Amino acid sequence: MDIQIRQIQKADDAGIAEIIRHALKEFKADKPGTVYYDESTDHLSDLFTAPNSLYFVALQEGKLLGGAGIYPTAGLPEDTIELVKMYLIPEARGLGLGKKLILKCIDEARKRGFKRIYLETMAELEKAVLAYERLGFILLDSPLGNSGHHSCELWMVKNID
């Protein structure tokens, strides 16, 4: 599988928003308090111009397969950055692409001096939770930071230093 991973571009915005919303709907997680309803989901290339933020998209022969990024969410401890908007189209799942994107995000976070990477997810995304656990993320009892995603009831963190 010949897959290209690169930083998001303006031309990717509509496609990646569609992938995110389709995945949430597929897993019945398209509820208020998730990125499904975030206005910024339609303009990710703008959102990821913030300092220390970065979003990668994966493509195969020009077709968007999904993406993942890091973002300095408000309220997080200074040494922590959030893994955000990790979504793939159905046919790109189970191939190791999600792991590759997450590891790329972790590597970038480490290069930027962060010691921990945090994420928020939902029980509906069971396979994703298992994948995060396999990569060393551990469950927390409460959220870190102020993402505004009150429907995400699972919070995980991984030490990356």
pLDDT the model gives residue 44: 97
Enter the tokens of residue 85. 């908007």
DSSP state of 100: H
Q: Report pLDDT digits (tens) over 49-73.
A: 999 999 999 999 999 999 999 999 9
pLDDT the model gives residue 34: 87
Q: How far apart are CA 74 and CA 106, in angstroms?
A: 19
Instruction: Count helices and strands (H / E) in the chain.
Output: 4, 7
Q: How far is CA 28 from the centre of its chain?
A: 18
Q: Which residues of the chain have pLDDT under 50?
A: none
pLDDT the model gives residue 113: 97
Q: Where are the domains of the chain?
A: 4-159
pLDDT the model gives residue 148: 79
pLDDT the model gives residue 33: 84
Alpha-carbon distance values, 112 to 65, 66, 68, 140 (Å):
26, 23, 17, 24
- Domain at 4-159: CATH code: 3.40.630.30
Strands 116-121, 80-88: pairing is parallel
